[in-house]
Structures are given as C-alpha cells and as structure tokens.
Structure 1
Amino acid sequence: MIAATSVLGMTAVLGGCGLGGGSGEVTLRLVAADYGDSASNSSQKYWDKLVKAYEAKHTNVKVEVSVYSWNDVDRKVKELVAAGKAPDMAQIGAYADYAAAGKLYSTADLLSIPVEADFLEPLADAGEVKHNKYGLPFAASTRVLFYNKTLFTEAGITPPKDWSELAADAEALKAKGVKYPFALPLGSEEAQAETMQWLLGGGGGYTDDIGTYTLDSTENVSTFTWLRDNLVAKGLTGPVAPAELNRADAFAAFADGDVGMLNGHPTLIQQAAKKGVKFGTVAMPGRNGKAKTTMGVADWMTAFKQNGHREQIGDFLDYVYSEQNVLAFSREYDLLPVTNSASEAMQASTQDKDLRPFLEELPLSTLYPVGNTSWAAVSADIKKGIGRAVAANGNPAAVLGQLQAAATLAESGK
C-alpha cells in the first residue's frame, strides 16, 4: 500500500441493499482508505467534497463514503464481503482475490472508453487477472534515490550512477561520521518494496514475464549477495540491522539529517523539507548504470457486483477519474496521478516540479505482481524473512530459496 501512516479510523454503518430513500433513487456505498495523517487532511474531506459536487448534478444518485485507516480498510471490506454486505465500491490495497472469485465488475463493464483508455499503461496492465482488468488504479508512486546534499558536499562526492559508485559514496560518508551512509530498510513494515527496488536494479524481479515467481533466480541471489558483502558487512547501512530497520524510521532519520542516501517515494519530499534538509534525487542506480526499470506502486479501486448498479457505479467512477479530480487527490497527498491526462498536466505545472523525477519513472515502472492471488501471502513472507539474507552470516541463496518454495506453494493454492 502506498500510504500506511493514517491515524484515522472513521467508521460508518454499511448496509447491503442499494435503493435509497426517494423513488428511483440509488444509494452507492464506497469504502475508502485514508491517506491523511491527521483530521485536517483526512481522505473523508476529499470524498465529501467530491460527492457533494457529483450529487449536485445527479439528483437520483446518493453516494455514501466510509473512510478507514490503512490498518483497517482491507480487513473491513473482507468482513463485509464475507457477511454478504459488499459495498458497491472499495478503494483498497489489493483486488485479485475478489476478481478470481467472480465478485467484481471488469473495467470494461464500468467505464466510458475515454476514461478507460486514459490510465497509464503499466498501471492498467497491473490490474489484470486472466487477461481481464478488474483493478482500477487509484493512486500511484515510484521510488528514486534521495541524497543529502549537505553531507555529500562535506564528503566531496557526487550522486551515484551505479552500484559501485553507490558503495564508494557510502564509504566516503562513513569516513565523515554519517550515521547511516545508506539506509537499507528491510524491516517488516515495507521490506517488499525495498527488496523489489534492488532486485530490479540487479536485472531480476519477483516474477518472470508471465507472472511465475522467480525469487531465487541467479540475478536475485547475486543482488542480495552484493548487498550483504558491499554494504552491510562493511558497516555502511548504519547502527540498526537492515532486518530491524523500518521504512518510516529510515525516512525520519533522513529528515533528521542522519542519512546520506536511501530509496524514497514522494511523501519524503515534504517530510525532509519541513526539517530543513537540503536534498536531491536521482534515478535509482543499477548494477551497471541506471536501473532499467524502477518499482511502481498502485492502490486499487474495485466495484462489486453484489448490489447491481453497474451503470450508476460506472458513471460515478467516470467522474472520480476526471482530470480535475485525479489532480486534486494527487496534489493533496503527494502521490502520482494514474491517468495520462493528469500526469501530463502535472508535468507541465510549475507547482508540481518536485514530483517530476517520479512522474518520469512511472510510465516505465514495474509493479508488484498484484494480479497473483497469492501475492498478499508472498509479500508477508518477504517482509518477515528477507532481512536475514543480508545479515553477517546470512545466506541469500538459502533465504531466497525458502521464499521461492513458499511462493510456489501459495500460488498453487495448497
């Protein structure tokens, strides 16, 4: 999930049927995740404003939105579906299980052709299960390498273009007493993201072109062997073992000026700026130059069949994905737009110049294998175990082999 820091847990009573108060009136129910970090910027405010504008033009349709924290939203939707009270729409972190069970409308069932065609291609493709699109990308993010300009100047170094330069820069930062020359968060919070970024840079990834897991590939084992030997073993990743370092703590340390380099997403921009850290960003280095692809992340909008209302859901989602609404949401929460029209508008706008490095990476990014119904289980295993691969006595081949075996079993459904 892109944002998992919300402290809000707003609830509402959800019903199972769809007809509302007036004659012919339809009530649509949407469960959505909260991207805010306080009451002042809760996603509830975004949805309330959007719904008010929509209902003003559609007097026969009411939309009720219930916003939950990222800690609760996927579980809440699962409970509602299990109880036979599926919402009409759910904006959540995954969709494949519901699609495989035949519970979702496809994108083609819902959206007008111009809206469906406007999604960025890698995001649209990631929403597929068995060649049909069921997950509508709702918000996106990519990763770039952040570096502390002040620390780099003091160490007399420039941003790295490949792994050998990255290791050399980390050595120089360590020599200057930098606490975390390179922060490597492989803790349980978001290890699957950091792992994927490095795998892509090493020419590997989680799956092959047809979605089969390849966690223990030669390229992936080589990548984690390099991390163990060239960064961790040399004390270049800081005082906290990568297996114990979470992404939020690494970001906080960067904002405190204690980190030389780390992989970061757009929310780090404001976090660092608020603390007065002078930073720069570059494309994530790969083994022999710029990584051919970076990691992209998307959250998903889904539409459940249970209550019917396909036409009304489709019309509402056409409105949700209008350029002005996609831009408003992306700017409110420092995320990347999922449509070509909004992305082009953001690229051309001076107010969004800090996001341009991320926008440039998104069209060619590689996303998690979210179309695999096993991905949630595989991701959880990676979070729990991948940090062991770079420990002092770690065995990357053994750890990745164990993860591969579990992934193969999970994909088989046994």
Structure 2
Amino acid sequence: MGKWTKLAALIAMLALSAALFAGCGGSTKTGGEAKKGGKVTLTLWHYYELPPQQKALNEVAQKFNSSQDKITIKMEFLPRNELTKQLSIGMVANKLPDLVFLDNPDTPSFAAMGLLADITDKVNSPDVKKDAYYPGPLKSNTVNGKYYGIPLGSNCVALFYNIDMLKAAGITPPSTWDELRADAKKLTKDGTYGFAMSGIKNEEGTFQMLPWILSPGASFDRLDSAEGIKGFQFVTDLINDGSLSKECINWTQTDVEKQFATGKTAMMENGPWQLPVIKADAPNLKYGVVLLPKDKQYASVLGGENLSIIKGHHEAEAWEFVKFLMKPENLNPILDSIGYIPSRKDWAEGSAKLNSDPIMKVFVEEMKYAMPRGPEPKWPEVSEAIYTAMQECFTNQMKPEQAAKAAEAKVSNVLK
C-alpha cells in the first residue's frame, strides 16, 4: 500500500473516531485563540531541531510580537515525521496549528486534502512580487493553478569535484553529459570512482535522479518518452562503465559525501548542506562546485520548505505574520541558520554573503534550474515509481527503456 493510500485510510479511521468522540460530548481545540481585548495567539509548527535554527525562529517571533499588539505568534517544534502525522490526525480532531512549515513536495498533498488555505489572491497581489521568485520554489506551492503556500527558503544540487584529481588527469570540470561520462571514465582508477550519487530506494534516490530526467526535457509524468528513457540510460551507462559504483543503490546523500571526502570519488552530485560536513570530514580537501552537466538543458532538483496557512484558522492574522516574515531583514537570519538560499531571485543574487563565496555563488546560479518534485498531491507514489525504475536499471534487472515504461504505467495509474 502506498503512503498516500495509507494516509487516506488513516484519515478515514480517525474521522470515525473523532465523530464518535464528539458524540460523547468531547471537545476539540483550534490552533489560534482569541484573547481578551481581541488579541489573537497563533501557533506555527516547524521541524527545525538544531539550537541555532530554533533561536532564529524564536527571535523573529519575539520581533513580530513586539511590533504590534493585535497578534502573538508562538513557535512549536515537532519532529518531522510527527508533524506530518499530527497534521493528518488534526484534520479530523480539529487540533491544528495556524501556520506550518512543510517540505515543498508535501504542500500539494496537504492542499489536496483540504488542510491549507488558498492564498492565490494574496500571492498575486503587488505586495508579494511573485515574479521575483525563482520559478521552482513558487511552483511547488501550486495545485491546479492555485497557491497554497509561499516559499520559505531553498536549496538544490550541483556537481562537486576534487580539484587535485581533475588537475592530475588534465581535465576541467565537465559541463555536458558527454564530458561528464568521458571525464568520469578517465578519473576512475586505483580504487577511486569518477562520479558518485545516491541511487537508494526511497525519496532521496528520486531526489538525486530527477535532474537526469529533466535535463533531456522529460518530466515526472513523461518517463517513457525518449527523453525520460535517455535519463535512465545515461546514469545506467555510468555504472556499466565502472565510473559510478554499483553500491550507489545503497548510498544516501550523506554516504556520497563520505565517498568524496575520503577520496573514493572524484566528483559527486550533492547540495550545500554538505559544506560544513566536508569541512569537518576533510578540512584540507581542495574542491570546487559547478552546475550539474547538461544534456539539452541545465537541470537541478528543488529542496527546501514552504510556509502555509491552515484553512479556517485566523487566516487574516496569519497572513500578517507571513508578510512580516517575508521581509529580508526578518527572513535572512532564519535562512542563515538553516543554510538555505533565498527563494527570491533578487534577494539571492543581491546577497553579498552568498556571492562572495565561490561555492555558494554556484548554488545561487543553479537555483535558476531547480525544479520541484511534482508539484503533485500524490507525489509519494510517483516517487516510488521513479526510484523503483532507477534501481531496476542500476541492478540490470531491466533495460532502461523497459523500466521507464513500467514506471510511466504506474505513474499514469496514480494520476488517473
């Protein structure tokens, strides 16, 4: 049973339980509470667990609370899996926050369930300046052309390379698929692979595979197109060449970083969240970052969170906090604590901090090409089709064309 199906079953079961509970005189609680004098207290759920992240969130809450006397915002931490579980349960038990940070592929799922407020008119207003956002982050908040959130901050993946290894091989960082394949072959020797990526059988594997599907011009719902097949074929060829370890089917993105930091791979696909990890693991490693090599077009995959308002929960007051947060002086400390790039292109490209760092400058450039996973309410099932096909290719259980066609059949059935 897929994640979406299980979630639907859980909601149905909980709805019955909630109805029985209500019939016995039980009471429920909403997120926002109106206090004496008309002041409203709002709750925002998040899953940022590190002390610097929580400090930044609490400080912006205090700043907002001090800026006016109508609304109080409270930050509430829940572990990531618990947060999504409680949102599903809260829908039927009416125990919900007023605002929530969601991983960007989860926004369409909860919007389709009727949990999130439609804020299309607000996003389209001149105050938001939606055209200033990178297309990927903004698109990740949509279902059927309507907006159910606004981007908080973003990241993406690019190509890391070992400067000394490439220099010794007499090559420069690749910019095309043909160059990547040739360079990876040349760099594979003496226990070192030319390239590494995660091909694990879960969402993380899909996350790393998507750029190779998007670059030829395919999409998640056109996996069996010539372009989609080409993407699966290219990465499979890297494995068959011996340039990408067969063990990639077991690697997380953290495992890929370990391969790179220990000199077991010359190049890797990974994101900016690995920068402090590389610094700790290999402080003397000389490395650079370039855009992921392209086939037809540059492509990357979008990571990051969105901020959504819970439907029917003091939506007007919640939007006041959203407007306050979406000012660079209020948002940037939070993004810095998480290690995110602003989802607004003008803020990212105008950041002296980001653009003075040669590594982060590349990720800012890569954000132009970072596309969301979907957006699709049934993304978990789509993702399962993609990572299953990926593993079938990488382990030679199926030829890429067969695996891509089987995956598309599953996706088409999901999207009916």
- Relative to structure 1, the CA distance from residue 174 to residue 269 in structure 2 (aligned partners, 3 Å threshold; closer, same or farther) is same
In the TM superposition, residue 68 of structure 1 has moved relative to its aligned partner by: 2.5
1:330 lines up with 2:342 in the alignment: no
**Counterpart position of 1:136:** 150
Structure 1 residues 8-41: Cα deviation after superposition (integer angstroms, max 9, x where no partner): xxxxxx942522443312111111121x5xx433
Using the alignment, how far apart are the partners of 2:400 and 2:289 within structure 1? Answer: 29
Using the alignment, how far apart are the partners of 2:146 and 2:60 within structure 1? Answer: 29
1:394 lines up with 2:402 in the alignment: no
**Counterpart position of 1:51:** 61
Structure 1 residues 222-244: Cα deviation after superposition (integer angstroms, max 9, x where no partner): 2222322x311122112x53322
| TM-score, scaled relative to structure 1 | 0.85
Higher mean alpha-carbon deviation, 296-305 vs 50-59, is at 296-305
List structure 1 segments (4+ residues) > 6 angstroms apart after TM superposition.
Answer: none
- Relative to structure 1, the CA distance from residue 187 to residue 88 in structure 2 (aligned partners, 3 Å threshold; closer, same or farther) is same
Q: 2:118 aligns with which of 106, 115, 127?
A: 106
Using the alignment, how far apart are the partners of 1:351 and 1:329 within structure 2? Answer: 20
Higher mean alpha-carbon deviation, 116-125 vs 50-59, is at 116-125
What amino acid is aligned across from residue 132 of structure 1 in structure 2? K
**Counterpart position of 2:185:** 171
Using the alignment, how far apart are the partners of 1:393 and 1:109 within structure 2? Answer: 49
**Counterpart position of 2:235:** 227
- Relative to structure 1, the CA distance from residue 366 to residue 128 in structure 2 (aligned partners, 3 Å threshold; closer, same or farther) is same
Structure 1 residues 92-124: Cα deviation after superposition (integer angstroms, max 9, x where no partner): 121223323443222345566323534334322
**Counterpart position of 1:373:** 377
Structure 1 residues 144-178: Cα deviation after superposition (integer angstroms, max 9, x where no partner): 11111122223332211222221222222213x24
Unaligned runs of 5+ in 1: 1-13, 207-212
What amino acid is aligned across from residue 95 of structure 1 in structure 2? T
SS at match of 1:180: coil
Contact 1:346 1:352 in 2 (8 A): no
In the TM superposition, residue 373 of structure 1 has moved relative to its aligned partner by: 1.5
**Counterpart position of 1:273:** 279
Q: 2:306 aligns with which of 292, 300, 315?
A: 300
Q: 1:282 aligns with which of 277, 280, 290?
A: 290
Q: 2:243 aligns with which of 226, 232, 236?
A: 236
| TM-score, scaled relative to structure 2 | 0.84
Contact 1:77 1:90 in 2 (8 A): no
Using the alignment, how far apart are the partners of 2:354 and 2:379 within structure 1? Answer: 36
- Relative to structure 1, the CA distance from residue 74 to residue 106 in structure 2 (aligned partners, 3 Å threshold; closer, same or farther) is same
**Counterpart position of 1:250:** 256
1:355 lines up with 2:355 in the alignment: no
**Counterpart position of 2:17:** none
Give aligned-pair identity as a percent.
21
Contact 2:43 2:74 in 1 (8 A): yes
Q: After TM superposition, list the pairs within 5 Å mapping 1:85-124 onto structure 2.
A: 85-93=95-103, 94-110=106-122, 113-117=126-130, 118-124=132-138
What amino acid is aligned across from residue 310 of structure 1 in structure 2? E
Q: Report the count of equivalent residues.
A: 382
- Relative to structure 1, the CA distance from residue 138 to residue 351 in structure 2 (aligned partners, 3 Å threshold; closer, same or farther) is same
**Counterpart position of 1:82:** 92
Structure 1 residues 240-278: Cα deviation after superposition (integer angstroms, max 9, x where no partner): 533222222112222233221111111122222332221
In the TM superposition, residue 387 of structure 1 has moved relative to its aligned partner by: 1.6
What amino acid is aligned across from residue 281 of structure 1 in structure 2? V
Using the alignment, how far apart are the partners of 1:393 and 1:234 within structure 2? Answer: 17
Contact 2:44 2:100 in 1 (8 A): yes
Using the alignment, how far apart are the partners of 2:99 and 2:251 within structure 1? Answer: 35
Using the alignment, how far apart are the partners of 2:111 and 2:247 within structure 1? Answer: 39
- Relative to structure 1, the CA distance from residue 22 to residue 179 in structure 2 (aligned partners, 3 Å threshold; closer, same or farther) is farther
Unaligned runs of 5+ in 2: 1-27
Contact 1:157 1:172 in 2 (8 A): no
In the TM superposition, residue 91 of structure 1 has moved relative to its aligned partner by: 0.6
Higher relative helix content: 2
Higher mean alpha-carbon deviation, 310-319 vs 214-223, is at 214-223
Using the alignment, how far apart are the partners of 2:175 and 2:35 within structure 1? Answer: 61
SS at match of 2:62: helix
